[in-house]
């Protein structure tokens, strides 16, 4: 049975899970009886939404979404339109941002939508890896999301400043916070991104303290935690699915399973942003097609020789460029095959119907 809510009550409930005024104009594209809600959990056959739509908090995903490209399917953080009478999904609002990757199986995998800030979480131990951080930054900047580097276990490190200095060398404008995820007093530097209407995503490997960070920010145990292995400082997957949680400061935060592998796809601009220093140097090279591997007049090689650019950083740039281009081409080829197969199926069905009618 439908529940009676005033317009003010509905608006307050939407704001509590991240609703923004700019979304309001999209509602005119849908029938008036449909209600907006946010996806907080995605399962194989359905969605969990918040706030509930007249008591409905579980929505079945119709078959039409599974025949569309992956990017068109709803993911955690999406705003959807739900029929309060039938509890069915009727549409997905246009996204302000989308985090995605290429899965180990070679398929595009959606991580989160409509995110304002991404906390890239790594720990001050053997998990720390600059190349991995550059990879995360490429994905986040491609999605035009504000990145924040969160260094956990700073209280356990012999010299946390060495980790801070390394990440600050990546970008001058990259916010960096060293924290003890168990101690809320060390998290004050993150408060500015956690206010009303703000949506945050936590990204990082297993065992770096993402779930602990979520629990401390939320002020309660909303995610299970598990100790890392002592021999290699690696963690097992504690979070098994992506989910949104409300923060006492008014924002919402997404925790996701740790990703040991984050393959890039459609992130050329993100890679360019992360390595803007190299691309600016490349403009000064003598040859426009300089490969930065030994040509005369190469400004990039000259910067390395002067000690102004790290060789490791250049190799990371090359690697991410090659990977992004290969994956982008692979996905485009797969999309073309799917579209061709779809055309063949439609053509076959049309012929079958014509023969049956005759």
CATH of the domain at 337: 1.10.40.50
Tokens of 6: 């005033």
Distance from CA of residue 179 to its chain's centroid?
Answer: 22
Q: How many CA atoms lie within 13 A of 263 on its CB side?
A: 16
DSSP percent split of the chain into helix, strand, coil, nearest 5: 40, 20, 40
| 8 A C-beta contact, residue 79 and residue 27 | no
Q: Is residue 80 part of a domain?
A: yes
CA distances from 245 to 112, 115, 212 (A): 13, 13, 13
pLDDT at position 230 is: 36
Total number of domains in the chain: 3
Identify the domain boundary among 92, 124, 141.
92
In this structure, the answer to whether residues 221 and 289 fall within a common structural domain is: no
CB atoms under 10 Å from CB of 169, counted, come to 12
pLDDT at position 348 is: 55
pLDDT at position 354 is: 63
| 242 CB burial (10 A radius; 0-12, 13-18, 19+) | buried
Per-residue pLDDT of the chain (358 residues; tens, 9 = 90+): 345 567 788 888 999 999 999 899 999 999 999 999 999 988 877 899 999 888 889 998 877 777 778 888 899 999 999 999 888 899 999 999 999 988 777 788 899 999 999 999 999 988 899 999 999 999 999 999 999 999 999 988 889 899 999 999 898 889 999 999 999 999 999 999 999 999 999 998 888 888 899 999 998 877 655 433 334 444 444 444 677 889 999 999 987 765 556 778 788 899 999 999 999 999 999 999 999 998 999 999 999 999 999 999 999 999 999 998 888 877 767 656 556 655 655 565 566 666 666 5
In this structure, the answer to whether residues 41 and 171 fall within a common structural domain is: no
Q: Is residue 230 part of a domain?
A: yes
In this structure, the answer to whether residues 113 and 243 fall within a common structural domain is: yes
| pLDDT tens column, 283-330 | 999 999 999 998 999 999 999 999 999 999 999 999 999 998 888 877
d(CA 342, CA 69): 12
Residue for token digits 């996806």? Answer: 39
d(CA 313, CA 290): 17
In this structure, the answer to whether residues 231 and 146 fall within a common structural domain is: yes
Region of residue 286 (left: phi > 0; alpha: psi -120 to 50; beta: else)? alpha
In this structure, the answer to whether residues 232 and 109 fall within a common structural domain is: yes
In this structure, the answer to whether residues 117 and 225 fall within a common structural domain is: yes
DSSP H helical ranges for the chain: 7-15, 130-142, 160-168, 210-218, 268-274, 276-282, 299-305, 311-357
Instruction: Please tell me whether the peptide bond between 51 and the residue prior to it is cis, using omega within 30 degrees of 0.
Output: yes
| pLDDT tens column, 173-182 | 899 999 999 9
Q: Is residue 295 part of a domain?
A: yes
| pLDDT tens column, 191-205 | 999 999 999 999 988
* Calculated CA dihedral for residues 238, 243, 244, 245, nearest 10 degrees: -40
In this structure, the answer to whether residues 104 and 251 fall within a common structural domain is: yes
pLDDT at position 70 is: 84
In this structure, the answer to whether residues 247 and 295 fall within a common structural domain is: no
Q: Domain of residue 85: give its range.
A: 7-92
Q: Is residue 353 part of a domain?
A: no
What's the predicted TM-score (pTM) here?
0.82
Identify the domain boundary among 36, 71, 92.
92
d(CA 191, CA 194): 5
Q: Is residue 351 part of a domain?
A: no
- List, in order, residues 6 or more apart from 348 with CB less than 8 Å away: none
In this structure, the answer to whether residues 237 and 130 fall within a common structural domain is: yes
Q: Is residue 217 part of a domain?
A: yes
Region of residue 41 (left: phi > 0; alpha: psi -120 to 50; beta: else)? beta
What is the 8-class DSSP label of residue 91?
A: E
In this structure, the answer to whether residues 287 and 168 fall within a common structural domain is: no
| 8 A C-beta contact, residue 296 and residue 151 | no
């Amino acid at each position: 049975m439908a529940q009676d809510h005033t317009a003010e009550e509905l608006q307050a409930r939407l704001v509590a899970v991240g609703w923004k005024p700019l979304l309001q104009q999209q509602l005119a594209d849908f029938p008036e009886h449909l209600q907006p809600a946010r996806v907080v959990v995605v399962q194989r056959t359905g969605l969990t939404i918040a706030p509930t739509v007249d008591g409905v908090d579980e929505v079945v995903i119709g078959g039409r979404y599974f025949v569309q490209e992956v990017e068109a399917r709803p993911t955690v953080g999406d705003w959807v339109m739900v029929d309060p009478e039938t509890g069915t999904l009727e549409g997905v609002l246009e996204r302000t941002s989308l985090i995605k990757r290429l899965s180990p199986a070679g398929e595009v995998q959606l991580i989160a939508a409509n995110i304002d800030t991404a906390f890239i979480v790594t720990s001050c131990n053997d998990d720390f890896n600059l190349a991995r951080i550059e990879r995360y930054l490429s994905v986040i900047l491609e999605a035009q999301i504000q990145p924040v580097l969160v260094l956990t276990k700073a209280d356990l490190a012999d010299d946390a400043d060495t980790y801070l200095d390394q990440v600050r060398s990546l970008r001058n404008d990259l916010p960096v916070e060293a924290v003890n995820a168990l101690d809320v007093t060390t998290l004050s530097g993150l408060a500015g991104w956690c206010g009303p209407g703000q949506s945050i995503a936590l990204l990082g490997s297993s065992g770096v303290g993402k779930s602990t960070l979520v629990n401390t920010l939320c002020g309660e145990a909303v995610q299970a935690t598990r100790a890392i292995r002592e021999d290699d400082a690696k963690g097992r997957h504690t979070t098994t699915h992506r989910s949104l949680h409300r923060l006492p400061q008014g924002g919402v935060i997404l925790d996701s399973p740790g990703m040991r592998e984050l393959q890039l796809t459609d992130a050329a601009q993100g890679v360019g942003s992360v390595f803007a220093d190299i691309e600016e140097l490349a403009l000064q090279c003598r040859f426009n097609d300089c490969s930065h591997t030994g040509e005369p007049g190469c400004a990039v090689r000259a910067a390395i020789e002067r000690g102004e650019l790290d060789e490791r950083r250049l190799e990371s740039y090359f690697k991410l460029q090659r990977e992004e281009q290969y994956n982008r081409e692979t996905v485009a080829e797969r999309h073309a095959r799917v579209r061709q197969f779809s055309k063949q199926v439609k053509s076959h069905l049309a012929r079958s119907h014509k023969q049956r009618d005759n």
